[in-house]
Amino acid sequence: MQIHYALSEPPRWDRDDRLARTAIVHVTPGLDGVSRAVNEAERGLLPAEATIVVGQPLTMDESRAPAGRGLLWIQLQELPWHVKGDAANELDAGGGTWTESLREDYADRIQARLARHVMNLETAVLKRVVLSPADLQGANINLERGDPYSGSLSLDQNFLWRPFAQQPGHRTPVRNVFQIGASTWPGPGLGGGSGTLVARELLRHRIPASGRLFRSRRSRR
């Protein structure tokens, strides 16, 4: 799940103002809390206390919002695709699919928890947009079941075996057709990594020994 916030002012974190200058903050009860949330999600339950990954884009690029405003994005990685119930026994899972009401109700739970740490969150929200796992898959075919990483990062689908053991690397069975993106090595979270590797391979095989890629008309005379 992803939750995007437009805020009327920058977020004010409780306890430690250094958090306001941190690009990504993880809000969790601790290691046991992460383990519990993963276990609940694996059993098809909405975690009572999912790990809240808070992105603060303005710490890296202030131009992304008007002066004096705030932006947050939230990522929840411990949610089930097919919802069988609620670990906190508060929300109705209904037929097991991600309905609009279930999506917004669960986002309300997350917002209430985050508001314990971001003191002005509840009063500063100008706009909230929530994307459930179903919404994410519907928006991008690569986000299978809402997975933001374009495929599992398990050992058998990572490193030399990404995207899968029978077709690792960036080459495809089609001559001169290469694949890049999060589903290929080195995987997600490394912007442009796979494209850089493919570009280097293409250049290594196609650039003349002189190292010149282009020649001007003047140089041909």
Mean pLDDT, residues 76-84: 96
pLDDT for 209:
45
The one-character DSSP state at 179 is -
Q: Write the pLDDT tens digit of every residue in 140-190.
A: 888 888 888 887 778 888 888 888 888 888 988 898 889 998 888 888 877
1: which residues sit within 8 A by CB, 6+ positions away? 74, 75, 76, 79, 103, 106, 107, 130, 131, 132, 133, 136, 146
Strands 24-27 and 45-46, sheet pairing: unpaired
Phi, psi dihedrals of residue 86, rounded to the nearest 5°: -120, 120
- Does the structure show a pLDDT above 60 at 12? yes
- For residue 53, give the amino acid letter: V
Q: Write the pLDDT tens digit of every residue in 20-32.
A: 999 999 999 999 9
Alpha-carbon distances of 124 from 17, 41, 63, 93, 119, rounded to whole Å: 17, 30, 19, 30, 10
Please name the helix (run of DSSP H) or strand (run of DSSP E) that holds residue 85, with its range, or none: strand 85-86
